[in-house]
């Protein structure tokens, strides 16, 4: 039985499983995951586990359960899918606080969504609790695991794709949620509506109820100081590879405080924002093409609107993914930018202030530059943070983000909303 990125299909022997898997200790890992899954309130029998390598932080698996309750109409087995994640506790050191934040926010979102039968977002993430009603499970080796319901009939709009441009390499084969190749402008617009609506639904939620798990996450001046320190220390003798990139990022340092200062001086409302509002964190419906849900709530917390707009633009208005090494393929697409912005304003139902709207383009540029700094800092520190597949990976990602930022600078006046 083969479907997609196969990790393990039960019913086959572990010897076969080891041949399918490509990492040492694979069979052991499968046994461990079976044991972990037994701790959660799942339905049916475990049938398959597939790995998903898309995220940079946690280890993610799609797991499939079947129950013998056959559906009356089709006679087929009932299948339930879940997302299982082994949490990266070197980054999220306090999983209890992490899961509590997500629980509070998803509970609020569910209530808001229920109250709006004709609303934009249709579903909130649903945490599957453990048998003893906990939000996550800690195994004997102190690994922390969580389980979510898989949101069916959904896909993520394609990152790194502009309207009309087709590039096969941008397919996210290993995505949890299928990424469609169509790359329609309407999908960018719908994603804008999804994030705009996400902000609107969280408007009444007090940001101080959430723990700030990764302090200074979007404190761009601090990210810059971290970069300067990593470059000057140069513990791994990698600064020599990144002189031009460093000089460019240095040259823009006066721009970095723009959003955080507007926030701290009270010009921007202090809100609950997503803080990792990439295009791949929106789910659209495969049936209607309209927004279904916003996912990946690890970084949910206090912040300012331009942060989320910025992350969405650096992914949604780019013609290539952030891993693309061929910079000729990395361009900024103004049409996508405009569509996303229109969707974002519409989805937020006119709840954005004038100052927030004025600073949205700054969010796009600053968050892209911040991401370039984060990748470069990680490269200079020998990649302790982001998962990488080869030595230059973080440097490539940094160059990619810089290319995008430079293209935004060229057309800057046109980014005004």
The minimum distance between CB 128 and Mg ion, in angstroms, equals 19
Helices (H), 202-267: 220-233, 243-251, 258-264
The minimum distance between CB 171 and ligand GN1, in angstroms, equals 17
Residue appearing with tokens 């019913």: 11
Q: Which among 79-87, 157-165, 273-281, 372-380 is the span making contact with Mg ion, rule CB under 5 A?
A: 273-281
Is beta strand 301-303 parallel, antiparallel or unpaired with respect to 282-285? unpaired
Alpha-carbon distance of 284 to 155, in angstroms, equals 5
Q: Which among 106-114, 132-140, 268-276, 366-374 is the span making contact with Mg ion, rule CB under 5 A?
A: 268-276
The minimum distance between CB 322 and ligand GN1, in angstroms, equals 6
| Structure-block tokens of residue 305 | 């609107």
Alpha-carbon distance of 365 to 41, in angstroms, equals 44
SS3 sequence of 356-387: HHHHHHHHHHHHHHHHHHHHHHHHHCCCCCCC
DSSP structure class, residue 413: G
Which of 322, 324, 356, 407 binds ligand GN1 (CB under 6 A)? It is 322
Q: Which residue is nearest to Mg ion (CB)?
A: 276
Any contact of residue 276 with Mg ion (CB under 5 A)? yes
Contact code string over 339-378 relative to ligand GN1, x by CB under 6 A: --------------------------------x-------
Q: Enumerate residues 20-59 that contact ligand GN1 by CB under 6 A.
A: 55-57
Contact code string over 371-410 relative to ligand GN1, x by CB under 6 A: x---------------------------------------
Q: Which among 64-72, 129-137, 272-280, 310-318 is the span making contact with Mg ion, rule CB under 5 A?
A: 272-280
| Structure-block tokens of residue 304 | 């300012």
**Choice between 213 and 230, CB closer to Mg ion:** 213
- List Cβ neighbours of 333 (8 Å cut-off, separation of 6 or more): 162, 163, 317, 318, 319
Query: Around Cβ 3, how many Cβ atoms within 10 Å?
Result: 9
395 binds, among Mg ion, ligand GN1, none (CB under 5 to 8 A by kind): none
Alpha-carbon distance of 362 to 218, in angstroms, equals 13
**Choice between 190 and 296, CB closer to ligand GN1:** 296
Q: Which among 108-116, 120-128, 295-303, 336-344 is the span making contact with ligand GN1, rule CB under 6 A?
A: 295-303
| Distance from the first to the final alpha carbon of the chain | 51
Any contact of residue 187 with Mg ion (CB under 5 A)? no
- List Cβ neighbours of 210 (8 Å cut-off, separation of 6 or more): 101, 104, 105, 272, 300, 301, 302
DSSP string spanning 20-43? Answer: H--STTHHHHHHHHHHHHTTB---
Any contact of residue 299 with ligand GN1 (CB under 6 A)? yes
187 binds, among Mg ion, ligand GN1, none (CB under 5 to 8 A by kind): none
Query: Around Cβ 253, how many Cβ atoms within 10 Å?
Result: 15
C-beta separation of 40 from 129 below 8 A: yes
Is beta strand 78-86 parallel, antiparallel or unpaired with respect to 144-149? antiparallel
**Choice between 55 and 302, CB closer to ligand GN1:** 55
Any contact of residue 296 with ligand GN1 (CB under 6 A)? yes
Any contact of residue 159 with ligand GN1 (CB under 6 A)? no
The minimum distance between CB 303 and ligand GN1, in angstroms, equals 12
Which of 296, 308, 311, 407 binds Mg ion (CB under 5 A)? It is 296
Residue ranges in contact with ligand GN1 by CB under 6 A: 55-57, 276, 296, 298-299, 322, 371
Residue ranges in contact with Mg ion by CB under 5 A: 276, 296
């Amino acid at each position: 039985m083969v479907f997609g990125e196969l990790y393990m299909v039960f019913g086959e022997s572990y010897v076969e499983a080891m041949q399918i898997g490509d990492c040492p200790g694979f069979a052991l890992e499968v046994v461990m995951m079976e044991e972990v899954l037994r701790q959660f309130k799942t339905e049916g029998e475990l049938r398959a586990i597939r790995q998903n390598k898309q995220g940079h932080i946690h280890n993610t698996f799609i797991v499939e359960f079947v129950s013998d309750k056959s559906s009356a109409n089709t006679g087929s087995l009932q299948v339930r899918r879940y997302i299982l994640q082994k949490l990266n506790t070197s980054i999220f050191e306090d999983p209890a606080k992490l899961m509590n934040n997500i629980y509070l926010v998803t509970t609020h979102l569910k209530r808001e969504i229920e109250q709006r039968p004709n609303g934009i977002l249709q579903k909130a993430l649903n945490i599957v609790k453990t048998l003893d009603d906990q939000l996550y499970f800690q195994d004997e080796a102190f690994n922390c695991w969580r389980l979510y319901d898989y949101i069916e009939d959904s896909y993520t709009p394609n990152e790194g794709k502009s309207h009309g441009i087709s590039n096969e390499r941008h397919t996210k084969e290993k995505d949890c949620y299928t990424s469609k190749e169509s790359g329609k402008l309407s999908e960018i617009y719908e994603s804008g509506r999804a994030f705009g609506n996400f902000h609107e639904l969280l408007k009444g939620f007090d940001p101080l109820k959430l723990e700030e798990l990764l302090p200074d996450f979007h404190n761009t001046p601090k990210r810059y100081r971290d970069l300067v320190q990593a470059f000057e220390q140069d513990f791994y003798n990698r600064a020599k590879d990144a002189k031009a990139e460093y000089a460019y990022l240095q040259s823009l340092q006066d721009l970095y405080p723009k959003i955080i200062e507007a926030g701290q001086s009270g010009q921007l409302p202090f809100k609950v924002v997503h803080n990792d509002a990439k295009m791949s964190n929106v789910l659209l419906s495969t049936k209607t093409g309209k927004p279904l849900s916003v996912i990946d709530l690890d970084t949910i917390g206090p912040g300012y609107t331009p942060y989320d707009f910025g992350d969405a633009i650096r992914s949604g208005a780019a013609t290539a993914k952030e891993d693309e090494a061929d910079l000729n393929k990395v361009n900024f697409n103004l049409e996508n930018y405009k569509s996303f912005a229109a969707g974002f304003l519409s989805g937020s139902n006119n709840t954005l202030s004038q100052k927030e709207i004025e600073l949205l383009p700054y969010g796009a540029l600053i968050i892209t530059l911040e991401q370039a700094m984060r990748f470069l800092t990680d490269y200079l520190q020998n990649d302790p943070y982001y998962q990488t597949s080869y030595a230059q990976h973080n440097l490539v990602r940094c160059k990619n983000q810089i290319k995008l930022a430079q293209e935004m600078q060229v057309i800057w006046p046109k980014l005004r909303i």
